[in-house]
Amino acid sequence: MIVAVAIGFFEVIKFQDEFWNKAFAAAANLFPVFYFGRVFWYKNYVQCNRRGIMIKVKSFSSTNFSFSDLNTVELEDNKLTIKHGGKTSVLNLGHIVEKDQQKLLSLIENHGFESSTVTS
């Protein structure tokens, strides 16, 4: 990714035709846009690292949760209830397949959070 941006700023490969120099630089700068823009293209999106999780469910904006702030997580009647830092967030997962709902819950559990319940 950093290489693509560097190629876009500097002329690493110099073509004789100026058109190809500009096209190559534009393509190198568009690569990070497509990579980081995938959050906005998908209707449902989950991104996780060791510190937290970002969940986007059927909306333009996403919700971020830090694993250190999570108190309880419950999956009940296709609704994921997350209690974190004195707040409660409810995510409606009704349009998501049951198997994927379980994957999301296990993803949260496998990142250091033990106290979760599942009720169908």
Task: Map out the domains of the chain as residue ranges.
Answer: 2-41, 44-119
Higher pLDDT, 103 or 33: 103
Q: What is the pLDDT of residue 115?
A: 45
How far apart CA 22 and CA 11 sit, in angstroms, is 9
Q: What is the pLDDT of residue 5?
A: 54
Higher pLDDT, 12 or 85: 85
Residue 109 scores a pLDDT above 60? yes
Residue 79 scores a pLDDT above 90? yes
Percent of the chain with pLDDT over 70: 80
61-86 mean pLDDT: 89
77-83 mean pLDDT: 92
The 10 Å CB-count burial string (b at 16+, else e) for 58-75 is: eeeeeeebebeebeebbb
- Say whether pTM exceeds 0.85: no
Q: Are residues 96 and 55 in contact, defined by beta-carbon separation less than 8 angstroms?
A: no
CATH topology of domain 44-119: PH-domain like (2.30.29)
Residue 65 scores a pLDDT above 70? yes
- Write out pLDDT tens, residues 95-107: 999 999 999 998 8
